[in-house]
Structure 1
């Protein structure tokens, strides 16, 4: 009995500091990262591809021909008798490395999936509707390791663990934007989060010291089921509004956040050759989505667009009691985050009918901020640089095919990585999007066939 209790104590612990073997695979999951082992996983970058190629900045972006997934106040900019549609897919290449006991373990993994489906349409003069479907967070990992504990080694033998997980949480947003008075708009949106995340572990004894057949394996599985409504409000104010020359817009949003309360079904199978014991629990996990405040400036002329955003997320305050234990003894907890985003778009000449490259839009950007979890009280930073192009589908038209890339890194200083056993991670993202604008005057009945 003591032996089984000891095994359960160790196998239930999550393992941020497990050394991994090297492999390269492809999957349809949206992420593959050991940092997605906790909570609801790794957060996805929000926004349509044009804004993601500009570092993810776009809270102040206001356009009659381009969707804005970040601020519902922008829905009011949709022109009458038009219809905006956006669709995007994204592939990711993850490269992880870890220094442990003088050895370096490396992994690589490829993923590919959709990123967003969105539309905007006018409801009335100065009133617009927006809808979007985007991944909010993703889980994907597979790590192996050996329990390093003298008590377990002396009583049982060498115990090997395999942890794996996959799944995601999706955000559905539906809202309206209204130009309350000239140069000032407000917006409100409902957000619905749903999805399932599956996590499992398998523990096997590879060098049994207590005799053959006395213990075979312990297998456990947890399923997180999310279904929750939240809300968002936003404003946009055109500080400068000279449509033929320049526009400077100040935007801000507030995400209400709240208790996510995912249903967690936990099942542990443990046994030997003579029988199997099954333990099952279905508690509510106390996990809170953060209050979020985002503020951004967006400057645009006929040739350039410049964006800068600041985002604050209150992860730590709402999740003070939420802790997960790593097998190395360190606690994994949440903290408040600050993120800065900036980007630039340049279009040489949208009206050039002879040289197509002059009509293309060229984008660059960067993002820098805090990671929303701590490991043994140690904090991590993450940054990314982005680039992309927009290729118009027709002369004098606003519809386009968008291409984007992103390179990012995550990890703390070397001394922290070596002490806690954290993974240094870098990734590349490749995305393709289609932005459709109702330039053929949808909803207008033709006068002649």
Structure 2
């Protein structure tokens, strides 16, 4: 197990670098980018449902669940994403491969500890937009091509604990330090129509580059309670709350006159720094409540509701006038089924079969159009022979956004794989 932890430290640097290009969504233009993290692979395979105490899997959504661990656990997960982006005029495709999280959980009798690193949000877009000039409603011979590009994102280092107050009741909390950098660039190029009806590029273009370094701390608290209803059937409940927090963005902006061709930079003729104010973004408060029923060794079905006060959120700069925010909501239903977890003769009967559905109003409103997200999920938990460790795979198929009012509709497919490696630590030997 120590070797596994050493490997995890080496992977920390990879996680940070992968987080910089973790999305291809044009909606990552706004705020801190596209929020990627939705739980571990086993939870995401149930559409994000995370209400059941688990002795061999780390639950990163509710810190109270750390107290349920019976083995020291190391978990890491990654995702391959294939996106189809559609507007009323055009269609594009994009792909990304990312690492999603890395965490360690340590049980200490009734106390459980957890720590790790999560790439929380990502900025990653490359957009070209053509605007034709007009006078008195009549289009003239001038055209402006605007090129937008962004990268970076927000990462979280966290440390948390869970404590079992009673046999079926646990509490927990964690502290998260947010850090990262977001870089964006916009390039504006003029074209005129010549006598041969061919657009010729004006020699000089205007480029604006913005850089924001983010830092801040936020907290998360959770409760977990379960009670037996009948024989092996139990009721499970989960509650988490994250209060509003502040992320400080140290901003820089540069304006330059450049020579370019089709958005590709050739030379910079003149560049000046423009003083812009630093920004304090309000990370919204979030409240989640979930209920489920079942036998943990056989099947579980449950639902979870999440409310997020996104209406107080904002953008990195105050010069974007087509976007606003409203309170966000997410509805999740999911579960799992295990044919026979004790089977020694049939491997497929020990596989955990997972599935779920979620619907989300993201809270982002562009051109007075709310951005919604819906997806179905499937997954498998594949036990490794001779150990309590397992490989978890998940599949997600969903849609986000709309083609109304000039916006983009995203059809996405995510294939995820995660490792949950478990071992016993701190065992007192009976014989020396």
State the TM-score, normalizing by the size of structure 1.
Answer: 0.82
Written as runs of structure 1 = structure 2, the 5 A alignment for 1:149-298 is: 149-150=133-134, 157-207=142-192, 216-240=204-228, 245-270=232-257, 276-298=270-292
Residues 340, 367 of structure 1: 8 Å contact kept: yes
Written as runs of structure 1 = structure 2, the 5 A alignment for 1:15-414 is: 29-58=21-50, 60-79=51-70, 82-99=71-88, 104-123=89-108, 125-150=109-134, 157-207=142-192, 216-240=204-228, 245-270=232-257, 276-301=270-295, 302-319=297-314, 325=320, 331-395=322-386, 397-412=387-402
RMSD over aligned Cα, in angstroms? 2.9
Return 5+ residue gaps in structure 2 as ranges.
1-17, 195-199, 260-266
Aligned residue number for residue 3 of structure 1: none
Q: State the distance in 2 between where 1:96 and 1:145 align.
A: 15
Q: State the distance in 1 between where 2:398 and 2:19 align.
A: 20
The structure-2 alpha-carbon separation of the partners of 1:88 and 1:336, relative to structure 1 and needing over 3 Å to count, comes to same
For residue 45 of structure 1, report the CA deviation from its aligned partner. 3.5
Residues 137, 168 of structure 1: 8 Å contact kept: yes
**Larger strand fraction of residues:** 2
Q: State the distance in 2 between where 1:366 and 1:38 align.
A: 26
Instruction: Tell me the number of residue pairs that the alignment of Structure 1 and Structure 2 aligns.
Output: 401
For residue 448 of structure 1, report the CA deviation from its aligned partner. 7.3
Which digits, 9 at most, give the CA deviation of each residue in 1:367-416, with x for residues without a partner? Answer: 10102210122213210100010110025x4311111110110124xxxx
Which digits, 9 at most, give the CA deviation of each residue in 1:89-130, with x for residues without a partner? Answer: 11100100111xxxx31110110010111111123x311111
Which digits, 9 at most, give the CA deviation of each residue in 1:411-436, with x for residues without a partner? Answer: 24xxxx34x20111110001111111
Q: State the distance in 1 between where 2:337 and 2:213 align.
A: 43
